[in-house]
Structure 1
Amino acid sequence: MSSFNRRHFLSLAAAGPLLAACGFEPVYGTRGHASGLLNQVVLDAPTDSNTYILVRELEDRLGRVPRGRYGMTVSVAVTERSAGRTITGVTSRYDVIGDATYALRDLATGEVVTSGKVQNYTGYSATGTTVATLAAQTDSHERLMVMLTDQIMVALWAWSAKAAS
């Protein structure tokens, strides 16, 4: 077992120079394109629980600052729909669909430098007790906000790489 772990470690160590040779560079590295976004984005205050989670996740990734170079507005729309029913017609599963629209603006000029819309979905089961169903619903909304945040971050990284070149 330990022999296998050493081989696995050695193969990962050997891959390091190959990644460096292909131009791989961490997005937040010293020369990474997204490092200019760190601690430079002031997010607008959240308006509801979903937006609160999304803003919290964005601040975890970008930094929470009172002043910066950019301002960001995010709006979230969430809908739930029945995804499964029992023979008696009781909904047993829900899909939670979320859209997040964002705009990153330069605070000095007020100009929107990039904007977009991302969409994703998740679901939860409604077959347990009332408390279990409410916990599943809350968890589903939080997971959805994390997924939307990930998509927004990918779009911001792509924009920052494009803007830097």
Structure 2
Amino acid sequence: MRSSRRALLVGLVVSAGLGLSACGFSPMYGGAGVNSALSDIQVETGREQVDFHLQEALLDRMGARHAVGPYTLRTESETTRAALGVGTDAAVSRYAIGLTVDYGLFRDGDVEPVVSGSVETEASYNVPQSVYASVAAERDATERAAQLAAERIANQLVRALRDADTQ
């Protein structure tokens, strides 16, 4: 009984895969596709702490730690901090870190970007009683916002490069 279910499941998966490939479907993150082109893009960010977190997250997400290709991704970021919650003692108990990143993908020697865009992210944190814990919580929220921004930028680059390849 189990082997027949397993065989049916395998048959469904194989037929779905054949059906998708017949309609022109290609996975965004597949092997040597467009996503591998991200590993040749150099990354330049600003000098603030959030920029460091953004650069590290982009390099990890794109696999571009040793990039030597003809493209450079340049980013400009802006952070905001907004109070979200007020406790019974009228002190702010929760903050949100907002991060806006404008980016451009430049070919070496070009002034105009090949691809440009902007992403906005937000991460929140509770304010603990300890000063050290509060600083650590804010840093963690900043890092999470940067990681989310890197994920969105990489996804937008993959889509833009994929669309450029199909035209």
TM-score band (shorter)? 0.7 to 0.9
SS in 2 for 1:115: strand
Q: Which residue of 2 aligns with 1:21?
A: 19
TM-score (norm 2): 0.82
Taking the TM superposition and a 5 Å limit, the aligned residue runs for 1:116-135 are 116-135=117-136
Contact 1:93/1:127 (<8 A) preserved: no
Aligned residue identity for 2:75: V
Contact 2:45/2:75 (<8 A) preserved: no
Contact 2:84/2:94 (<8 A) preserved: yes
Q: Which residue of 2 aligns with 1:94?
A: 95
Over the aligned positions, Cα root-mean-square deviation in angstroms equals: 2.5
Give, in whole Å, the separation in 2 of the partners of 1:82 and 1:120: 16
SS in 2 for 1:101: strand
Give, in whole Å, the separation in 2 of the partners of 1:13 and 1:80: 52
Q: Which residue of 2 aligns with 1:78?
A: 79
Give, in whole Å, the separation in 1 of the partners of 2:10 and 2:46: 42
Taking the TM superposition and a 5 Å limit, the aligned residue runs for 1:48-67 are 48-62=48-62, 63-65=64-66, 67=68
Q: Which residue of 2 aligns with 1:41?
A: 41
Give, in whole Å, the separation in 2 of the partners of 1:108 and 1:20: 43
Aligned residue identity for 1:71: T
- Unpaired segments of 5 or more residues in structure 2? none
Count of matched residue pairs:
159
Give percent identity, aligned residues only. 24
Aligned residue identity for 2:19: A
Contact 1:41/1:65 (<8 A) preserved: no
Aligned residue identity for 1:34: N
Which sits farther off after the overlay, 69-78 or 101-110? 101-110
1:150–1:66 CA distance, 2 compared to 1 (3 A): closer
1:28–1:52 CA distance, 2 compared to 1 (3 A): same
Shift of 1:128: 3.5
TM-score (norm 1): 0.83
- Unpaired segments of 5 or more residues in structure 1? none
1:13–1:128 CA distance, 2 compared to 1 (3 A): farther
Shift of 1:51: 0.6
